[in-house]
Chain A
Amino acid sequence: GAVVSQHPSWVICKSGTSVKIECRSLDFQATTMFWYRQFPKQSLMLMATSNEGSKATYEQGVEKDKFLINHASLTLSTLTVTSAHPEDSSFYICSAQPLLAGFSYEQYFGPGTRLTVT
């Protein structure tokens, strides 16, 4: 149980285009979903927190107009990287917090999406 999927797993796009990444909780409902970015040999950096039906809360330094988050349902959140540039190339990982969490900080992570902007 507690499976989170991400699609696509790997995407290459040209500079200036937009890319949408989907995050789905497959066997549970998630009150909150989180989006992280991970550069090689670096830790996961939280980008934003989203709750179903609400606007996402972005971390300091993350451009909300560039990284659009839509939390459409209790099982789906999307991250759209608009006007992508090579510096946006990274590993993007989502996590989902179950509606009935066993403990307050319980999160399940997706497998990640590797974005390469050329």
Chain B
Amino acid sequence: QKEVEQDPGPLSVPEGAIVSLNCTYSNSAFQYFMWYRQYSRKGPELLMYTYSSGNKEDGRFTAQVDKSSKYISLFIRDSQPSDSATYLCAMSANSGGSNYKLTFGKGTLLTVNP
């Protein structure tokens, strides 16, 4: 079983739809959870990060973490064509020292149609 599982999609939605992106993980030591957006042939861009469980909202984006279920989500409200990209979840264990390694999901390709 991979440490981080993410449905690669592709996911296609109409403009204005609510998008739900999800990842599951197996390593209970993960405590930091991040979502990145990656446009084609570009490096990932950090969207949001969350420590431990709970929700975090930033504009049209909401990140949720459920550590009991080892499940994280990213919701995008009022989706726009400019949101079309690959969304990657990433997580890291708080192992102390300088170990800031991230473990990524495969990414979900999202297309928002005008």
Q: Which residues of A contact B (CB under 8 A)?
A: 4, 6, 31-32, 34, 41-46, 49, 51, 91, 93, 95, 97, 103-112, 114
- Of A105, A106, A109, most buried by chain B (CB within 10 Å of CB) is A105
Residue of B nearest to A101 (CB): B100
B46-A107 in contact (CB<8A):
yes
Chain A contacts for B46, CB-based, 8 A? 106-108
Q: Contact partner of A51 among B42, B45, B98, B107, CB < 8 A? A: B98
In chain B, positions 17-32 with a C-beta closer than 8 Å to chain A are 32
B49-A105 in contact (CB<8A):
yes
Given the known interface contacts A4-B43, A43-B106, A110-B43, the answer about A105 and B98 at a Cβ–Cβ threshold of 8 Å is: no
Query: In angstroms, how far is the closest chain A Cβ from the Cβ of B4?
Result: 8
Cβ-based interface call for B14 (8 A): no
Additional 12 contacts, C-beta under 8 A, given A43-B88, A103-B49: A4-B43, A34-B101, A44-B44, A45-B104, A49-B101, A93-B44, A104-B94, A104-B100, A105-B100, A106-B49, A108-B46, A109-B43
C-alpha spacing A42/B38, complex, angstroms: 13
Q: Is the interface of A mostly helix, strand, loop or mixed?
A: strand
Chain A contacts for B34, CB-based, 8 A? 105
7 A-B interface contacts by CB (under 8 A)? A6-B43, A34-B102, A43-B4, A43-B106, A46-B102, A93-B44, A103-B49
Cβ-based interface call for B41 (8 A): yes
The 4 closest A-B pairs by CB, nearest first: A109-B43, A43-B104, A43-B106, A44-B104
C-alpha spacing A112/B45, complex, angstroms: 12
B106-A105 in contact (CB<8A):
no
C-alpha spacing A31/B46, complex, angstroms: 18
Query: In angstroms, how far is the closest chain A Cβ from the Cβ of B100?
Result: 5
